[in-house]
Amino acid sequence: MKLVSIMTIEEAQQAVDAWIKTTGVRYFNELTNTAILMEEVGEVARIMARQYGEQSFKKSDTEVNLADEMADVLFVLICLANQTGVDLTDALQKNLEKKNIRDAERHQNNEKLK
C-alpha cells in the first residue's frame, strides 16, 4: 500500500501535521526537532561519505538507505517549518528568485566549474 503519492510542498506540510497530531501525538519542541534534524543530516552524511567518498562501509552499515534518510531529513524540516509558521512553498520560491538575481552570471563565470 502506497501511503504517499506525488504531492506539493503544501500538501506535504499538511500530511506531516496530520501525522504528528494523530500518530505522533504532538510535535517535539523546536529545539529538540533541531537536534533531531542535525542527527538525520549526519546519517545522510555518513552514507554519502561511504557510498561516494573514501570511507568504507562497516558491517553495521549493510542496511543503509539513502532515500529513506533523506526523507527523514525532509520530514523533520517540515516539522520545524510547521512549528515556526514557515510556508515552505513560498520560502523556496523566494529563495530561487534570490538565487536567480544574485547568481545570474556568477556560476557561468566561475572557472572552477568549467
Read off the pLDDT of each residue in 87-112 and give the average, rounded to a whole number.
91
Q: 3-state class of 86 per DSSP?
A: coil
Alpha helix ranges (H) inside 23-114? 30-51, 66-84, 88-102
Whole-number average pLDDT of the chain: 93
Counting the structural domains of the chain, the total is 1
Neighbours of 18 (CB within 10 A): 11
Within a domain: 94:
no
**pLDDT tens digits, one per residue of 31-74:** 999 999 999 999 999 999 999 999 898 888 778 899 999 999 99
Within a domain: 74:
yes
Read off the pLDDT of each residue in 68-96 and give the average, rounded to a whole number.
98
Within a domain: 30:
yes
CATH code (residue 71): 1.10.287.1080
Give the domain extent around 42. Answer: 11-87
What's the pLDDT at 105?
84
What's the pLDDT at 33?
98
* pTM exceeds 0.95, yes or no: no
Backbone angles phi, psi at 110, to 5 degrees: -90, 110
